[in-house]
Each structure stands twice: as C-alpha cells, then as structure tokens.
Amino acid sequence: MQSLPDVPTQGIHHIAFGTKCTRATYEFYHHKLGMPLIHVENHRLKKGYFRHFFFDMGGGQALGFFEINNVGENPDYRTDPSTGLGMPLWVNHVSFRMNDRASWEAFRDRLKAQGVMMVGETDHDFCHSLYVIDPNMLMIEFTFDTDEEKFGMSHDDAYKALFETPEAQIPEDAYKGARNPKVKLYI
C-alpha cells in the first residue's frame, strides 16, 4: 500500500452555513447552546451586503453563518442543507464532541428545558449522540465517546467496507431507524 504524507491540517478553523434569520440563529447558538459570538464581519457586495458571523465551538474552532442580502442569491433560496437538496434531514449535519456522559446528559436536559427541537438519541456502539435542529433546519449532533476502539478501522478494512460491501451483505441489525432499540426518536 502507498504511504500517505502527514495530514497538513490541524482540525477545523470554521464551518459556515447560510441563514435567513440572524436573530433566531444568534438566539439558538448563543443563548440556548451557550456558544459565545466571537466575530462579525459586515461587507458590501454588488448592490447589497452580507454579514458573516461566528460562534466559538470550543477547541479553537468556530461555526459561522452568512446573512446575505442582494448579493446574487435566488429570491427563494433555502438554508436547509439536507431537505433543501432533497435528502433526509440527517444527512448534512455538524457533530460536536462532548466530554463525557454526565456533561452530555446535563446539556441534553438544559436543551429540553429551553424547548430546543430534539430529533432523538442514538447509541452507535462507539459513541452516543443527541440530535437537535437549528433555526436553519441544520441538524446538530452532540456526541460523547463510549468505545473509541470500535470507531477505529485499518485503512484496508475501511476501504473494503466502503467499496466492497454489497447491499445484500449489510446486516439487518445495522438498521438505524425507529425499530432499532438503540435509537430513541422524539419526533
């Protein structure tokens, strides 16, 4: 197998999405999730303007949003990155790592008390996840690791699973929907 060079990246600087409602996005990420607003840029472009604003995700990483106004967007543009493209809601999402089960449960309880739209929880065998929806219809996942060894695969095993597993060989117990006892849906 060919040796690959070291990965030159150091994680994520920021991820950015569009929003149609800056106020609702701010309220959700800052007040409900507790992420500090750390940077805002206001720019003119063409005959309009845009705002690019960022929340601290922790670990030196940021989550950004664009509010766009008359800069070339379609009048009926959508900000829902999965359903707007005809995919299930859960396909495009951002997952945040939590320290442990206790901090995850406390955070989940806080979000419930604040009325955050929760989709459900899933035990993935290597981690446990909570899924919520932001005001832009972006799925947000909060995860704590339960068995890191189950997540790691050799490159060869991962390649085989990705490219050499026909649908007929995917076991029924790999089902991730509501009939799986490891999945708890709220909606």
pLDDT at 3: 63
- List the alpha helices (DSSP H) in the chain: 22-26, 101-113, 148-151, 155-163
pLDDT at 144: 92
> Of 5-19, 100-114, 131-145, which gets the smallest average pLDDT?
5-19
What's the total number of domains in the chain? 2
**Same-domain check for residues 97 and 129:** yes
pTM: 0.85
**Same-domain check for residues 180 and 154:** yes
Among 116, 120, 121, residue whose Cα is nearest residue 31: 116
Region 5-34: mean pLDDT is 90
Evaluate whether residue 116 is within a structural domain: yes
Which CATH number belongs to the domain containing residue 124 in this structure? 3.30.720.110
Domain range for 86 is: 79-166+173-187
In the predicted structure, residue 97 carries a pLDDT above the cut 80: yes
In the predicted structure, residue 125 carries a pLDDT above the cut 90: no
Point out the domain boundary residue: 30, 48, 77. Answer: 77
**Same-domain check for residues 72 and 83:** no
Q: Tell me phi and psi for residue 87, to 5 degrees.
A: -110, 165
Would you tell me how many other CB atoms lie within 10 Å of the CB of residue 35?
19
